[in-house]
Amino acid sequence: MLRNATFAVLSLLLLVCLAPTASAQAQQPATTYAITHAKITTLVGLTIDDGTLVIKDGKIAAVGASVEVPAGAQIIDGKGLQVYPGLFDAVTQMGLSEISAVSSTVDSSETGNFNPDVIAATAVSPSSEHIPVTRASGITEVLAVPASGGFDSGGSRSVVGGQASAFSLAGWTMDDMQIKRSVAMVINWPTIQTRTFDFATFSRKDRPYSEAKQEYEKQVNELTDWIDRARHYAQAIGHGGPSDFERDVKLEALAPVVRGQLPVLVFADRARDIRNAVEFCDKQKLKMILAGGEEAYQVKELLRSKNVPVILRPMLSLPREEDDPYDVLLSQPAQLYEAGVKFAIGSFDNSFARRLGQNAANAVAHGLPYEQALKAVTIYPAQIFGLGDQVGTIETGKIANVIVTNGDPLELTTDVKYLFIRGQLTSTDNRHKRLYEKYSNRPKP
């Protein structure tokens, strides 16, 4: 007894002594990794059949067929495995919404029609269970986009929804994870709708076209007014000290937009709405990125000539019209590619984010060249949002968001074997795996 007690006390003391060392170790994991003998798809130049990738201090330090493994590097044997840049999901509500039916877990949409000053990064919960689930499917960075969900917000969508933020899917805090706090200003393009669902009476409401058009015009006029005022405000900032004008945080948030420094991410699906939005942004000299774009193929020449890139919503969606070809959305990426329109693919969701690769593969099945599909979920979204020098390919100096797989990352049956996020070997463990393992071990009742 006594011996046991003494032993316990000693062990406790030992633990206390060791504890600081242990926690210091936990805070300082390996910083240098080398993945050797892997097939490396860099998405710049040729694929390396038997290459080495060196990751150091969070960045890609070297890549090639004859790269030296640095001393002290943790070596990952990549024989039989493939290395790709991690996937980039260009529109999500990641971290902004946990359980969509429970409003207390949802922060994706503000009330009111004009919220240029709200920023997604502020509300992203780094502890969201969606983050580990999503990264296990090979997605290493996302855009959290405010006001991009429909029903989370009770059916209402702000015209100016706020600023989207780009971040990597691992880290202790949002400060760690953040790639860029503000990458685009969300605009939900007003649309002429004669039929709406009224949540107050829980019924559908029809109204005459003229009335719907009037409301559309009112919203576009309001938007024009906001942009005009922001332009004047930006001029005022440029010409005087802070005491010379009354501060307005909303107009201040729009200033980079009217200066052309911050692109507008305009949500529109119908051809007519897309045309109107492009015309508006052209006239207002706004840098436009189209999001949604279900009928983008109908205005592909316009999009190409005005250099408007598109973030397509999942192609695994039903056609909008009853008489549309059944595969119109599946074959659209191939059409846009042939027309020279630059596009990326987004999940526009959280819990379905892991279908990103599946959607890209389905676009390939309907005519899009494979490499284009892969780029549409890696380097193209990065370039579209001005992050092309930070993520999206395997190039020296970029953030080491890298996946090591046993096959094509877009295919349904491929596993992510190793996951590097911000240069850290990151576990693919997640809520789903844990529950699976727990209940796989349930004894027979």
Partner 1 sequence: MNGRIPSVTLLSLFLFAVAADSAAPPDSSPVIVIQNATILTVTKGTIEHGSILIKDGKIAEIGASVKAPKDATVIDAEGKFVTPGIIDCHSHIAIEGGVNEGSISVSSIANIAEVLDSDDVDIYRDLAGGVTTANILHGSANSIGGQTIVIKLRWGQPASKLPFEGALPGIKFALGENPKRSNFSIPGQPKRYPATRMGVEETIRGAFTEARDYKSAWDAYNKKVIAGDKAALPPRRDLRLDPLVEVLEGKRYVHSHCYREDEILMLLRVAKEFGFKVRTFQHVLEGYKVADEIAAAGAGASTFSDWWAYKVEAYDAIPYNAALMTRRGVVVSINSDDAEEATHLNQEAAKSIKFGGLTHDEALKLVTINPAIQLGIDKRVGSIEVGKDADLVIYNHDPMSAYAVVQKTLVDGRVLFDRDKDIAGRAVLEKEKKDLLAKEKAAAKKTDEKKPDAKKPDAVKKPDEKKPDEKKPDDKPKPPSDSDANGGAL
Q: Name the residue nearer to partner 1 (CB basis): 7 or 199.
A: 199
Asked whether position 155 contacts partner 1 by CB under 8 A, the answer is yes
* Site for partner 1, residues 43 to 102, rule: CB under 8 A: 98-102
Asked whether position 298 contacts partner 1 by CB under 8 A, the answer is no
Q: Name the residue nearer to partner 1 (CB basis): 204 or 239.
A: 204
CB 150, min distance to partner 1, A: 3
Asked whether position 439 contacts partner 1 by CB under 8 A, the answer is yes
**Coil, helix or strand at residue 361:** helix
Out of 47, 122, 358, 372, the only residue in the binding site for partner 1 (CB under 8 A) is 358
Residue with tokens 């998405």: 43
Asked whether position 242 contacts partner 1 by CB under 8 A, the answer is no
242 class by beta-carbon count within 10 Å (0-12 exposed, 13-18 middle, 19+ buried): exposed
Q: Name the residue nearer to partner 1 (CB basis): 41 or 390.
A: 41
Q: Which residues pair with 180 in a beta bridge?
A: 166
Amino acid at 317: S
Of the candidate spans 65-73, 80-88, 162-170, 316-324, the one that interacts with partner 1 by CB under 8 A turns out to be 316-324
Nearest to 56 by CA among 32, 35, 29, 27: 32
* Site for partner 1, residues 381 to 420, rule: CB under 8 A: 410-415
Nearest to 284 by CA among 217, 248, 231: 231
Q: What radius of gyration do the chain's Cα atoms show?
A: 25
Nearest to 230 by CA among 208, 252, 247: 252
Out of 284, 351, 372, 428, the only residue in the binding site for partner 1 (CB under 8 A) is 351
| Contact yes or no for 362/316 (Cβ under 8 A) | yes
Asked whether position 201 contacts partner 1 by CB under 8 A, the answer is yes
Asked whether position 427 contacts partner 1 by CB under 8 A, the answer is no
Q: What is the DSSP string of 138-172?
A: TEEEEEE-TT--SGGGTT---SEEEEEEEEES--S
Asked whether position 349 contacts partner 1 by CB under 8 A, the answer is yes
Asked whether position 445 contacts partner 1 by CB under 8 A, the answer is yes
Determine how many CB atoms are found less than 10 A away from the CB of residue 433: 14
Asked whether position 104 contacts partner 1 by CB under 8 A, the answer is no
Reduced 3-state DSSP string for 243-259: HHCCCCHHHHHHHHHHC
Asked whether position 202 contacts partner 1 by CB under 8 A, the answer is yes
Q: Name the residue nearer to partner 1 (CB basis): 59 or 275.
A: 275
Q: Name the residue nearer to partner 1 (CB basis): 319 or 388.
A: 319
Q: Name the residue nearer to partner 1 (CB basis): 182 or 414.
A: 414
Asked whether position 4 contacts partner 1 by CB under 8 A, the answer is no
Both tokens of 24, joined, read: 């210091």
Asked whether position 130 contacts partner 1 by CB under 8 A, the answer is yes
Residue with tokens 């005491």: 243
Could you tell me the maximum CA-CA distance found in the chain, to the nearest angstrom?
91
For residues 157 to 196, the per-residue mask of contacts with partner 1, x marking binding by CB under 8 A and - elsewhere, is: x---------------------------------xxxxxx
The DSSP element (H or E) to which 185 belongs, if any, is strand 178-188
* Site for partner 1, residues 271 to 290, rule: CB under 8 A: none
Out of 270, 287, 342, 422, the only residue in the binding site for partner 1 (CB under 8 A) is 270
Nearest to 272 by CA among 287, 242, 294: 294
Q: Can you tell me the distance from the alpha carbon of 308 to that of 286, in angstroms, rounded to the nearest whole number?
A: 11
CB 159, min distance to partner 1, A: 13
Q: Name the residue nearer to partner 1 (CB basis): 205 or 247.
A: 205
